[in-house]
Structure 1
Amino acid sequence: MKERATVVCWQRERILLVERGRARWSLPGGTIRRDESPVDAARRELSEETTLEGHKLGCLFQFGGLNKRHHVFLCVLPDDARPRPCNEIVRCRWFSPRKVGTLVASVPTRAIVALLFASGGTTSGFVSPT
């Protein structure tokens, strides 16, 4: 089973999604390298894809199917944090949790966002990242 680190970035009631040029939106993240912890992979992928660095990540849950397991992290960003597309990412954009369900997005992205915001679309239930 492939292991992935996935980051839910939250700022001003919105979630950051990235596009890799395949006309599908997804949460930032990627494959966990051998001998790399999930949180280190999440930090690396967030930096590589959005140039965001030095922000705290909180572990939310693991989400998986038959072929992939996503280690999902939360990053609550300050208002002045500005992601920029980098490497294979062509666009970074903020969406409300409700809007994500209407987008052409990866199946895991839609499912993870639905799990997080099923009870009303706020982060009131989140534990603050450490």
Structure 2
Amino acid sequence: MKDRATVLCVQDGRILLVARERSRWALPGGRIRRDEAPHEAALRELEEETTLVADQLMYLFQFNGFNTQHHVFFAEVGPHLIAQPGNEIARCRWFAPVKIATLSASVPTRGIVELFVRHIGVPAPAGVRRAP
């Protein structure tokens, strides 16, 4: 089974997805190199694919795909940061969590987002208070 660092990056209550040319939407991330820890791979892949540099990552959970084990990390980025496609990525876009289920997205992406929303929730957009 391959190991992959996957980043759930949230900004103003929306989740960042990336896509290669003519490919499905996916969460940023990639293969963990032999000489790096999963969190190091997550930081590297986020920056390579989106140009975003996360100040902090929080480890969330492992998610087993068909032949890949995803080490899932959470990163919240400020509203002033802009994601730009980098490396092999052609598109970066922020989506409301409910919209992701309707996209042409990878199966692991849908599963990871569903688990995250159901068990952790998505931070409210800036300036919006949730009812207690």
TM-score (norm 2): 0.88
SS class of match (1:90): strand
Which amino acid in structure 1 is aligned with residue 59 of structure 2? Answer: C
What is the CA-CA distance between 1:15 and the residue it aligns to? 0.2
The worse-fitting range, judged by mean Cα deviation, of 113-122 and 34-43 is: 113-122
Structure 1, residues 77-128: CA drift from partner, whole Å, max 9, x if none?
011011100011001000000000000000100000011112695348xxxx
Q: Tell me the residue number matched to 1:70.
A: 70
User: Take 2:77 and 2:122, find their aligned partners in 1: how far apart are those partners?
Assistant: 15
Structure 1, residues 28-87: CA drift from partner, whole Å, max 9, x if none?
000001021000000110010001114211100010134110000000001101110001
Matches within 5 A, 1:38-117: 38-117=38-117
| 1:97–1:121 contact (8 Å) kept in structure 2 | no
The worse-fitting range, judged by mean Cα deviation, of 25-34 and 49-58 is: 49-58
| 2:54–2:76 contact (8 Å) kept in structure 1 | no
- In the superposition, relative to structure 1, how do residues 98 and 121 fare at CA in structure 2: closer, same or farther (>3 Å)? farther
- In the superposition, relative to structure 1, how do residues 3 and 100 fare at CA in structure 2: closer, same or farther (>3 Å)? same
Q: Tell me the residue number matched to 2:130.
A: none
TM-score (norm 1): 0.89
Q: CA RMSD in A?
A: 1.6
TM superposition outliers: structure 1 runs of 4+ over 2 Å = 118-124
Q: Tell me the residue number matched to 1:4.
A: 4
User: Take 1:15 and 1:114, find their aligned partners in 2: how far apart are those partners?
Assistant: 12
SS class of match (2:89): coil
